[in-house]
Amino acid sequence: MAHKPRSQMIAETRGKLLSAGRRAFGTVGYAEASMDDFTAEAGLTRGALYHHFGDKKGLFAAVVSQIDAEVTVRLAEITERAGGGWRGFVESCAAYIEMAIEPEIQRIIHCDGPAVLGESWMTTSQSGCLACLVDDLERLKADGVVGDIDPEAAARLINGASLHAAQWIANSDDPEATSKKAVAAFRALLEGLRVRAAERVGETVN
Amino acid sequence: MAHKPRSQMIAETRGKLLSAGRRAFGTVGYAEASMDDFTAEAGLTRGALYHHFGDKKGLFAAVVSQIDAEVTVRLAEITERAGGGWRGFVESCAAYIEMAIEPEIQRIIHCDGPAVLGESWMTTSQSGCLACLVDDLERLKADGVVGDIDPEAAARLINGASLHAAQWIANSDDPEATSKKAVAAFRALLEGLRVRAAERVGETVN
DNA sequence: CCACTCACATACGTGGCGTATGTCAATCAC
DNA sequence: GTGATTGACATACGCCACGTATGTGAGTGG
* Domain extents in chain A: 1-54, 64-198
**Closest by Cβ to A160, choosing from B30, B31, B165:** B165
B5 touches strand D (CB under 7 A): yes
Q: Span B151-180, mean pLDDT?
A: 90
Ranges of residues in chain A with a pLDDT under 50 are 1-3, 198, 200-206
pLDDT value at residue A79: 86
| Architecture of the structural domain at B64-197 | Orthogonal Bundle (1.10)
Asked whether the beta carbons of B192 and A192 are under 8 A apart, the reply is yes
**Closest by Cβ to B161, choosing from A123, A161, A178:** A161
| Architecture of the structural domain at A1-54 | Orthogonal Bundle (1.10)
Residues of B within 8 A of A116 (CB-CB) are: 115
pLDDT value at residue A196: 65
pLDDT value at residue A206: 43
Q: Span B41-52, mean pLDDT?
A: 94
Cβ-proximal residues to A73 (8 Å cutoff; 6+ apart), any chain:
none
A196 touches strand C (CB under 7 A): no
Contact between chains at A185 and B150 (C-beta distance less than 8 A): yes
Q: Which nucleotides of C are covered by protein (CB under 7 A)?
A: 7-11, 15-20, 22, 25-27
pLDDT value at residue B167: 86
Q: What is the CATH number of domain A64-198?
A: 1.10.357.10
Contact between chains at B115 and A110 (C-beta distance less than 8 A): no
Asked whether the beta carbons of B79 and B136 are under 8 A apart, the reply is yes
CB atoms inside a 10 Å sphere around CB A12: 11
Residue B85 burial (10 A CB sphere; 0-12, 13-18, 19+): middle
pLDDT value at residue B93: 87
- Which of A103-107, A197-201, B46-50, B112-116 has the lowest average pLDDT? A197-201
B10 CA – C18 C1', rounded, Å: 40
Per cent of chain B over pLDDT 90 is 50
A6 CA – C14 C1', rounded, Å: 39
**Closest by Cβ to B115, choosing from A115, A181, A185:** A115
Contact between chains at A197 and B193 (C-beta distance less than 8 A): no
Residue B134 forms beta bridges with which residues?
Answer: none
Closest CA to B166 of A188, A20, A57, A164: A164
